[in-house]
Structure 1
Amino acid sequence: MTLRHLPLHDGWTLGADGPVPLGLPTGGVPATVPGCVHTDLLAAGLIDDPYLDDNETRLGWIGRTDWTYHTVFDWTDDGHDHADLCFDGLDTVATVLLNGTELGRTANQHRSYRFAVRPLLVEGANTIDVRFTAPYTYAEELRERLGDRPGAYTEPYPFIRKMACNFGWDWGPTLVTSGIWRPVAVQSWTGPRIASVKLLADLADDGVPRLSVTLDVDRSGDRSPLRAVVEVAGERAELTVPAGQDGAATTLLVPDAEPWWPHSHGEQPLYEVSVRLGGHAWHGRTGFRSVSLEREAFRIAVNGEPVFVRGVNWIPDDCFPARLTRQRISDRLDQALAAGVNLIRVWGGGLYESDDFYRLADEKGLLVWQDFPFACAAYPEEQPLYDEVAAEARENVVRLAPHPSLVLWCGNNENLEGHADWGWRKELGDRTWGHGYYHELLPAICAETDPTRPYWPGSPYSGSPDLHPQDPARGTIHIWDVWNRADYRAYADRVPRFVAEFGFQGPPAHATLRRAVSGPLALDAPLLTHHQKAEDGNAKLLRGLGDHLPQPGGSFDDWHWLTQLNQARAVAFGIRHFRSHTPYCMGTVVWQLNDCWPVVSWAAVDGDGRRKPLWYALRAVYADRLLVVRDGALHLVNDADRPWAGTLCLTRHDLDGTVLAEEELSVSTAPRQVARLALPPSVAEPADRTRELLVARLGEVRTVEFYEEDTRLALPPARYGVRITGSEGDASAYRVEVTARTLLRDLALFPDRLDPAAEVDEMLVTLLPGESTVFRVTGAVIEDPEALGIRPVLRCVNDALA
């Protein structure tokens, strides 16, 4: 017989186990499963949207309340010998009851749970109750028993195996959830059952694709030998589970399979795998590639080919992850892909992401660096936490191992640095802080369960516990002094091997702020300030303008434009510098791609999914080919698989467009290399730094470099012509052609100010007098299209300086 799967997602209600500051309906609140308490109360109209205004501050009681989810389902005896109640995810501390009988207790959001229930099921109506203990109650009691631990925040997240950023972060709200956050079902079967399948797909030493399969079975009393069959890409292998044993493994070569590559290096062929045991079948999908890590240089190679990492950090895309659809994840990863990103780092303060996330990364050719869920705190290693960590790690390593996109396991985020530099040692004394997880438990689990991928104890980390974790000559570093204290030109003061975190803040799109904040948008508006979680964040935004851009005064529109632009420039400056040092530097991972709510943050894509100017800047500096002017030289960065050759044109202009000097040089850069060319004296130094600029062009790639900061440039008042036309056959699309009559510095269009659904294809374009560019606006229905051509929708640096 085959396994029977009965989903249990309907008919749930939610009730509070104790007093709450609102009236709950008799019989409970209708509940969505998968979901959580916050989203159920929101759907019932009992709380205001926690993402708007300062509503978050009035919802802290939810995380301090015990809750019960209840449902009744009909069951009919299907003739199977066994039945399990299966939860793919419970958030977090729960007691599960079926027909009043306790099945078990849980304390880990990162695990799934299976309870044998066949003797308890009855014909007809059956009840399930899932009683959730308040996360704060559990975590604070454990903190009291084990002793406090230092961290970046005072919240008790190190004492509960739950998404840490639920407890607030410097970009996220404090919304501490409970709920059945992943699917639930009853599974029935007869005879031996496939309990789990571990797939490891890589390349043998001779380059032939190879699949290792480990099968675990639930025998249910049957002790005879069992025969299973594995099939993939035309290959077939038999696997025998010996009598009295619960598992077996086999390895088969798959010579007809093609290797999987990151999108910047090749194609992404994927292959269906089936494992059959009697009447039961397991189906999965994988791709074949090898991964290696050169530890000192932190150089990741796929199929033996080094990859310069053009990365972004990923945080949970919603504080309530059950709301994330496959389409929304796909859209967000497509935004990364379109920006030239080839690696997503799943950050350690969040989750092991959904199966959809990794499947989509496989399909799109995006590499994944996976942090284990530890971030910015000392984590106790005592029980019950130690066994929970071991169980979640084993389960998720097996779950994620088939995905070719996954190329690195990383033990934690910033905990090694915290122990070394943040004063933890004195506060800790002899208490545990996570060393045993990162240097013993997790590497042992990875070595046993997934030897096909490298493991790295944490980031930042320099390759040895004896070395300072922030040694730029080894391993990974994080650069946060720039945002916190220094001008962004300080990125050029160091040449690291690999930058796993760095970033600069900027506000979200205007339409995103307008939706999130009621009342006037003003720099001193308390509701706007509530959507800035970084310590002294707004002051750092203004400090960061430095001498690059003018201070906005009291103008909200100027503040919004200039701080968004400065964010884009700061990150782009860093990436250009780091990429020009390839292959010594082999990667940058920008903090961060996305947001979980509407907030002023480091993200390139804001909490409503809108692309900030930073996104457009990333697309430019993460392109395969890049021209970088640095230290009196032009660096030709060629991260393509073909040589980059042609005639390089270098032109020094007056700001009025007059050509002052011009040089043409034949150049060639080998694939995946950087060529350095000293600038000829005629263009290297201007006669007047405030009135001149340099244009470098090679083929379709152009860069415009100024010899002085904008605040010292003699930029003229902006003059330009604008021609706005509709798109034939599409009433929601517009073509905005801008022709410069003076030099226009970083021209940008913000159509979301006119229609929140509007998007624009380009931004941050510098035009010389006489040049034109076209912005294409889509998704918009604009009452007055002429508004696309005037402030504050159309902006450039010139008007801010004026």
Structure 2
Amino acid sequence: MNSYQPLHEGWTVSGSDISRLPAVVPGCVHTDLLRAGRIEDPYLDENETKLAWIGRTDWEYETTFTATPGSRTDLVCAGLDTVAEIELNGSVVGETANMHRGYRFDVGSLLRDGSNELKIKFRSAYAYAEGQQQRLGNRPNAYPEPFNFIRKQACNFGWDWGPTLVTAGIWQPIGLETWSVARLAEVRPQVTVDRGTGRVELRVRLDRAADEPVIITAEVAGRRAQATVDGIEALLILTIDDPDRWWPRGFGDQARYDLDVTLAAADGTTLDTWSRKIGFRSVRIDTAGDGYTVIVNDVPVFVRGINWIPDDVFADRVTRDRLAARFRQAADANVNYLRIWGGGRYESFDFYDLADEMGFLVGQDFLFACAAYPEEEPFRSEIEAEARYNVVRLASHPSLVVWTGNNENLWGYEDWGWKPELNGRTWGSGFYYDLLPRIVTELDPTRPYWPGSPYSGTPDRYPNDPVYGTTHIWDVWNTDDYTKYAAYRPRFVSEFGFQAPPTYATLRRSISDEHLAPDSPGMAHHQKAIGGDQKLERGLANHLPEPRDFDDWHFLTQLNQARAVAFGIEHFRSLRPLCQGTIMWQLNDCWPVTSWAAVDGDGRKKPLWHTMRDAYADRLLTFQPRTGSPLEADGPLTEIEPGAVVPPQGAPALVAANDSRTEWQLATTVTRRDLTGRILASAELTATIAPGENATLALPEELSTPGDPTTEFLTTDTGVTWFWSLDKDIPWPAADYTTEVAHDGDVHRVTVRATTLLRSLTLFPDRLDPEAETDRAAVTVLPGDSVTFTVHSEQALDPAALTSRPVLRCVNDIAASPVAKN
């Protein structure tokens, strides 16, 4: 049987005036330099700016190892970052120029029986990319960096949420595989289920060292298929009667089956094995009526999604445990879909295995983002090899439901002024419309392909038209108020979002400014979006009282982000069946930064996470403006002044969205109240909502028409609210409440009893203990009611600090000083 010898020990790295530092493999040069104390942590303060030299330096990794050559020995490199020359015992083995694929080299003739020396020389990614840029002619992109001229993680070159840290190194496992006769070079299962019958079409390709016949055996769910092979390819088909299906989370169980493949010699000697877990499920994208609906096992799934970026700039730090923690945060926020963005990585086995296990649907972008990409060699061949490698690598995972050609490049070509600059040069369309769909159809026809995000269904349409296919909504963040989300009637929103700073504990760990301010040096450096702070200020000025200090600013910007994204999600969900999905930008960060993330770079939840969880609940109640008969959302608004608040179009109605798998017998009491909590009108609303359906309930006129819109609001008995006026225009009472703190082990229960209305009450326990976390945020509490926050902290937190500013906040404590009584 074949054997594998990992080569992860004894490495050193050298470059420029740095010689033979200990290196960790898998890893990268930045983490090696950091571990050796040769650089400061690039995530802290402005240290990133001191480290540009690393990406412009050539680096050499070197190790020695002992080996005993076999009949055939390959050096297997699962991932090299990026432009590398591999040398074994003084002889060049091969060269690479693609971070996104693996390589295999026959090194049997070069191995010595005993000590061997392996060197991998990494050329500067900048030198390579800039050389290709000069050779082929410039192509426009979103940032002044040459990331579109090298097959490397694009966001290593900086993004509007990420640092510019251009890595190099052996970023995936490396080792020697020794084998004889034949090996399993490629195992590609195509798994389908139709009318109760599961089918596995297993396509196998062999590498050979001898021409003798070999036997391939495949087993799954008690079924077995076998083939004797004289050549290098085989097809084995297994059928399973009535297999348990793999379902997305919320729709059923995630049944998986072990698929085992064995390669044996004619005498029965095992030569190689391959094992994966597979799931029986069907998937398609329904584009009827020019929409975009994900259909799994013939059931439409309303996508409640998040966009995913690399969870750390340095891939070796993204462990399975870290992914599992992030996935749990997504699951707890009622997310069912992860879109892997095209400027990062094809995600790892651990990522996809966890998604399979937990029932997430995954959309994987091919790795092209926000740029025109050359189609000339060597890129065409590299991209074909990369696509083939990854389509095969990920084929066994039931969670993967769609391949998407690129992120925003079709839109960029039409709308970002690229055409004059390109002047006829290639820009990637041949990849998105021809090469990539052909590869997916050839290698994995069980999954759909979509040319881009956004994409309107056909090449002759404007690619970001919300009336068709998938759309990105970024005018809201860039130029307009978040209330403009209500102007859209999209079919499927695959990107939209709003910024806020990270949690206070994350700020204090990563920024050493003596006095934090939005424009203090560290804060400014950790804001990568062009005009980001001005856009934050515009959002605050439109909605909330003016902050008096940094603590106010931090609370209000986080609150505004939470409200903005929840506003969008609730509006889009209320449009079903017209709209069939919403993927907010973004779940996670790769370092501590002001960004669109719900979970910051240190893994802490912002208030946005809590409001997203509520907006993505299986059963959602939301007030939405409606006019017409039947009650319908208005069409897109026109001639909106940039930055202006868009007033609600029509009277509020109550929309119920049922994403659960059971019928919803809704009964709720809606009241119109004034700021003292006094009930001005009341009505009970009832409805029966089938699974996967929405219901829109009209409000009686005494509820839908306020006497004074600045001092009145609607609320349900479950706490859903509607305010006719903006917070900044409401004469809030001074916050008056009492508090009680109960402490038991690592749990603190903070009960707040409201004497006056408390608007968006939020607790920030990380200001007292960086590891502390609360269970809710942005809760509006009526006079006479109470709310209890459950805080987990291994420290005993000071009750007085836990129940006062700046830890306990609400909107009306900015308009007037709170009156807290313990």
Instruction: Indicate conservation of the 8 Å contact 2:481/2:542, yes or no.
Output: no
Pairing partner for 2:216 from 209, 220, 228 = 228
SS at match of 1:432: coil
Pairing partner for 2:793 from 761, 779, 787 = 779
Pairing partner for 2:516 from 496, 510, 521 = 521
- Equivalence for 1:733: 747
- Equivalence for 1:650: 670
1:406-463 superposed Cα distances (whole Å, 9 cap, x missing partner)? 0000000000000000010111011000000000000000000010011000011101
Alignment of 1:214-253 (within 5 A): 214-222=203-211, 224-241=212-229, 243=230, 245-253=231-239
In structure 2, distance between residues paired with 1:114 and 1:400:
19
Instruction: Indicate conservation of the 8 Å contact 1:339/1:616, yes or no.
Output: yes
SS at match of 2:116: strand
Larger deviation: 562-571 or 513-522? 513-522
Scaled by the length of structure 2, what TM-score is found?
A: 0.94
Deviation at 1:251?
2.1
Instruction: Indicate conservation of the 8 Å contact 1:6/1:186, yes or no.
Output: yes
SS at match of 1:717: coil
In structure 1, distance between residues paired with 2:687 and 2:668:
6
Pairing partner for 1:149 from 136, 139, 154 = 139
Whether 1:533 aligns to 2:531 is no
Alignment of 1:584-623 (within 5 A): 584-623=578-617
In structure 1, distance between residues paired with 2:614 and 2:456:
30
SS at match of 1:174: coil
Instruction: Indicate conservation of the 8 Å contact 1:648/1:667, yes or no.
Output: no
In structure 1, distance between residues paired with 2:400 and 2:700:
45
1:526-550 superposed Cα distances (whole Å, 9 cap, x missing partner)? 1110000000100100101243112
One-letter amino acid of the structure 1 residue matched with residue 779 of structure 2: V
- Equivalence for 2:75: 85
In structure 1, distance between residues paired with 2:723 and 2:2:
68
SS at match of 1:172: coil
Instruction: Indicate conservation of the 8 Å contact 1:547/1:710, yes or no.
Output: no
- Equivalence for 1:50: 42
In structure 2, distance between residues paired with 1:169 and 1:47:
22
SS at match of 1:352: coil
Pairing partner for 2:260 from 274, 289, 298 = 274
In structure 2, distance between residues paired with 1:735 and 1:147:
62
Whether 1:212 aligns to 2:201 is yes
Instruction: Indicate conservation of the 8 Å contact 2:14/2:59, yes or no.
Output: yes
In structure 1, distance between residues paired with 2:607 and 2:584:
14
In structure 2, distance between residues paired with 1:198 and 1:33:
29
SS at match of 2:163: strand
In structure 1, distance between residues paired with 2:807 and 2:419:
52
Moved over 6 A (4+): none
Pairing partner for 2:560 from 563, 566, 576 = 566
Deviation at 1:717?
0.6
Whether 1:347 aligns to 2:337 is no
Pairing partner for 2:31 from 39, 47, 56 = 39
One-letter amino acid of the structure 2 residue matched with residue 733 of structure 1: V
SS at match of 1:48: coil
One-letter amino acid of the structure 1 residue matched with residue 535 of structure 2: K
For structure 1, the residue ranges without an aligned partner over 5 or more in a row are none
Whether 1:749 aligns to 2:756 is no
- Equivalence for 1:705: 722
In structure 1, distance between residues paired with 2:159 and 2:242:
48
One-letter amino acid of the structure 1 residue matched with residue 206 of structure 2: V
Pairing partner for 1:65 from 57, 68, 84 = 57
In structure 1, distance between residues paired with 2:374 and 2:146:
11
In structure 2, distance between residues paired with 1:453 and 1:779:
44
One-letter amino acid of the structure 1 residue matched with residue 5 of structure 2: L
In structure 1, distance between residues paired with 2:687 and 2:139:
57
In structure 1, distance between residues paired with 2:425 and 2:118:
40
Alignment of 1:673-688 (within 5 A): 673-688=693-708
Whether 1:467 aligns to 2:461 is yes
One-letter amino acid of the structure 1 residue matched with residue 174 of structure 2: V
Instruction: Indicate conservation of the 8 Å contact 1:759/1:780, yes or no.
Output: no
- Equivalence for 2:8: 9
Deviation at 1:784?
2.3
SS at match of 1:705: strand
In structure 2, distance between residues paired with 1:536 and 1:474:
30
In structure 1, distance between residues paired with 2:518 and 2:763:
22
In structure 2, distance between residues paired with 1:565 and 1:722:
22
- Equivalence for 2:657: 637
- Equivalence for 1:691: 711
- Equivalence for 2:286: 294
- Equivalence for 1:387: 381
Instruction: Indicate conservation of the 8 Å contact 2:666/2:689, yes or no.
Output: no
1:123-163 superposed Cα distances (whole Å, 9 cap, x missing partner)? 22111000000000000000000000001111001110000
One-letter amino acid of the structure 2 residue matched with residue 4 of structure 1: S
Larger deviation: 206-215 or 179-188? 206-215
One-letter amino acid of the structure 2 residue matched with residue 33 of structure 1: V
1:450-481 superposed Cα distances (whole Å, 9 cap, x missing partner)? 10011000011101110000111110010000
Structure 2 CA distance for partners of 1:648 and 1:785, relative to 1, 3 Å: closer
- Equivalence for 2:781: 767
Deviation at 1:256?
4.7
Whether 1:133 aligns to 2:118 is no
Instruction: Indicate conservation of the 8 Å contact 2:371/2:409, yes or no.
Output: yes
- Equivalence for 2:487: 493
Instruction: Indicate conservation of the 8 Å contact 2:361/2:401, yes or no.
Output: yes
In structure 1, distance between residues paired with 2:448 and 2:242:
26
One-letter amino acid of the structure 2 residue matched with residue 461 of structure 1: Y
For structure 2, the residue ranges without an aligned partner over 5 or more in a row are 265-269, 626-650, 817-822
Instruction: Indicate conservation of the 8 Å contact 1:71/1:127, yes or no.
Output: yes
- Equivalence for 1:170: 160
SS at match of 1:511: helix
Pairing partner for 1:261 from 247, 255, 260 = 247
Alignment of 1:375-414 (within 5 A): 375-414=369-408
One-letter amino acid of the structure 2 residue matched with residue 541 of structure 1: L
In structure 1, distance between residues paired with 2:221 and 2:567:
46
Deviation at 1:648?
2.3
In structure 1, distance between residues paired with 2:420 and 2:711:
55
Alignment of 1:476-491 (within 5 A): 476-491=470-485
Whether 1:545 aligns to 2:540 is yes
One-letter amino acid of the structure 2 residue matched with residue 712 of structure 1: D
Deviation at 1:783?
5.2
Deviation at 1:88?
0.6
One-letter amino acid of the structure 1 residue matched with residue 3 of structure 2: R
One-letter amino acid of the structure 2 residue matched with residue 250 of structure 1: L
SS at match of 2:241: coil
Pairing partner for 1:721 from 729, 732, 738 = 738
SS at match of 2:131: helix
In structure 1, distance between residues paired with 2:416 and 2:685:
51
SS at match of 1:199: strand
1:29-66 superposed Cα distances (whole Å, 9 cap, x missing partner)? 00000000000000000000000000000100000000
What count of residue pairs does the alignment treat as equivalent?
A: 781
SS at match of 1:630: strand
In structure 2, distance between residues paired with 1:776 and 1:349:
38
Instruction: Indicate conservation of the 8 Å contact 2:196/2:241, yes or no.
Output: no
SS at match of 1:168: coil
In structure 1, distance between residues paired with 2:365 and 2:694:
30
One-letter amino acid of the structure 2 residue matched with residue 758 of structure 1: A
Percent sequence identity over aligned pairs: 55
- Equivalence for 1:455: 449
Deviation at 1:265?
1.1
Instruction: Indicate conservation of the 8 Å contact 1:92/1:132, yes or no.
Output: yes
1:299-356 superposed Cα distances (whole Å, 9 cap, x missing partner)? 1100000000000000000000111110001111111111011000000000001110
Instruction: Indicate conservation of the 8 Å contact 1:170/1:535, yes or no.
Output: yes
In structure 2, distance between residues paired with 1:337 and 1:536:
33
One-letter amino acid of the structure 1 residue matched with residue 31 of structure 2: T
Larger deviation: 488-497 or 783-792? 783-792
One-letter amino acid of the structure 2 residue matched with residue 465 of structure 1: P
1:174-207 superposed Cα distances (whole Å, 9 cap, x missing partner)? 0000000000111111211111201121213x23
Instruction: Indicate conservation of the 8 Å contact 1:151/1:378, yes or no.
Output: yes
